Structure 1
Amino acid sequence: MNKSNENTFTCLIVEDEPLSQEILESYINDSPQLLLKGICSDAIMANSILMEEKIELVFLDINMPKMNGIEWVKSLREVPEIIFTTAYPEYAVDGFELNALDYLLKPFSLDRFFKAVNKFMSLQKNLEKSALFLNANISVKSNKKTYLLKTTDLKYIESEGDYLKLHRDEDCLVIHETLKSFQTKLPEKSFLRIHRSFIINLNKVEYFEGNQVCIGNQIIPVASSYRKELIDLLDKSS
């Protein structure tokens, strides 16, 4: 099934059983809303993909070699939406305590799979509706002060550990927040995540070359997984 990147959400399978991998891959291929970006047999492989790709949904087994699914989710600084897939019902409580979207007990049918995916789609629609009401001003706290920040003043946002640097024309504010959380406060048409550590204001880009952009004499890396989306958006705005 041919799928458009513009109308789909990226997903990842993290599962060590070949048969379960095949079933999930088949179900995802039957889901027009989902675009499969990879299949991993353990958490180490999954980490490498998360560093390179924008993953919005993970179908995650629990009993796996090296690190189980519960431990892996707890180790992540930014967690995609999670749908657990396992043969062990006793892990359900642990799964929902991690705010998992759903818990699929093996073996599960295509119909049950679609119900889980529909939960994800409903969540995305609600987030999109909320974004429509976002104001151009954002309230942020930095150094015990509260600032009313105009998003149009932002050049780019840089992640460093558990903190963000909000780069403006005149200064830089440091706040305690994750990049994923802060991105939900920004107007989608003007801001784009181009790297696991950077979000840029598209209106501030001076030039784009190779795998980097220039904003205010600052060179910012562009991850390969975000490059096409960046090119498309810059072409539309030109």
Structure 2
Amino acid sequence: MTNTNPEYINCLIVEDEPLSQEILESYIDNCPELKLCSTCKDAIQANAILHNESIDLIFLDINMPILNGIEWLKSLDQGFEVIFTTAYSEHAVEGFNLNALDYLLKPFSFDRFLKAVNKFMVLKKNQEINQSVTSKTIWVKSNKKSYPIKLSELAYIESDGDYLKLYMDEKPIIIHETLKHFISKLPNTVFMKIHRSFVINITKVEYLEGNQVSLASKMIPLAASYREEFYKAIEKNEQV
């Protein structure tokens, strides 16, 4: 059974070449934070493992019998991260288009393997920080009433003079407070100012188009003075 100790990263190897299997197994064995749950030679075996085990990270070969790694990954609802392993560099672009965490070109060294694993560690840490932050609740006053605001539901804040509109999953709440003062209550790892009148929850961003950010079905302007900081925050917050 999978080791459920949260300190471990539960790994799965999907690789049909015995030598490549042995190398990956050896590399994983030399990383105390990694736990190898199973090694599979094809997608059919891997499906069975995913059905019964909780996997965090898959080392996935692309050229395999029955179903190649890219086609197999397309068929799945991902609840894990993937690092592709292959001898053919031409697969890299398609692999990254599937949001693969990294791409290891065979033969790869232990140092290169560690760099890929470190990407997962950074991603995991950022996700844990975001989950901890957005699970919090703050209280605000509006029309002589107090309302609990879950930060996980707060998409963005719009400033209008001394008033703010707090946009969540439902209709906005209007409060009498300046944007500068309200920002001081928010965790800056998740909420950031992208315009003089707007602060957004970067975990709620749907897509970028030109100098605008889409979230909660609204296009919000991204001011030039905040652009560099915004892109750095997005890069840090993404799957890497």
TM-score after normalising by structure 2: 0.56
Alignment partner of 1:10 is 2:10? yes
- Supply the distance in 2 between the matched residues of 1:45 and 1:103 (Cα, whole angstroms): 22
Q: 1:36: how far off?
A: 0.4
Q: Which runs of 5+ in 1 are unaligned?
A: 141-145, 149-183, 186-238
**Which of these two proteins has the greater Rg computed from alpha carbons?**
2
CA contact (8 A) 1:14 1:42 kept: yes
Partner of 2:90: 90
User: What corresponds to 1:81 in structure 2?
Assistant: 81
3-state secondary structure, aligned to 1:60: strand
From the superposition, tell whether residues 4 and 30 of structure 1 become closer, same or farther in structure 2 (CA, over 3 Å): farther
**Percentage of identical aligned residues:** 62
> 1:131: how far off?
1.3
Letter in 1 for 2:54: K
Question: Match for 1:111: what amino acid?
Answer: D
> Which residue of structure 2 aligns with residue 125 of structure 1?
125
Work out whether residues 139 and 147 of structure 1, in 8 Å CA contact, stay in contact via their aligned partners in 2: no
Q: How far off is 1:147 after superposition?
A: 5.7
> Given the two structures, how large is their TM-score scaled by the length of structure 1?
0.56
CA distance in 1, matches of 2:100, 2:131: 22
On the 8 A contact 1:10/1:35 being kept in 2, the answer is yes
Map 1:123-162 onto structure 2 (within 5 A).
Answer: 123-134=123-134, 135=136, 137=150, 139=153, 146=169
Superposed CA deviations along residues 163-194 of structure 1, whole A, max 9, x for unmatched, are xxxxxxxxxxxxxxxxxxxxx99xxxxxxxxx
Given that residues 16 and 40 in structure 1 are in contact (C-alpha distance below 8 angstroms), is that contact kept between their aligned partners in structure 2? Answer: yes
User: What's the secondary structure of 1:133's corresponding residue?
Assistant: helix
Aligned to 2:72: 72
- Runs of 4+ residues over 4 Å off in structure 1: none
In the TM superposition, what whole-angstrom CA distance separates every residue of 1:140-170 from its partner, at most 9, and x where no partner exists? 9xxxxx469xxxxxxxxxxxxxxxxxxxxxx
Summarize the Cα distance change of 1:54–1:147 in structure 2 as closer, same or farther, 3 Å threshold. Answer: farther
Cα displacement (A) at 1:78? 2.5
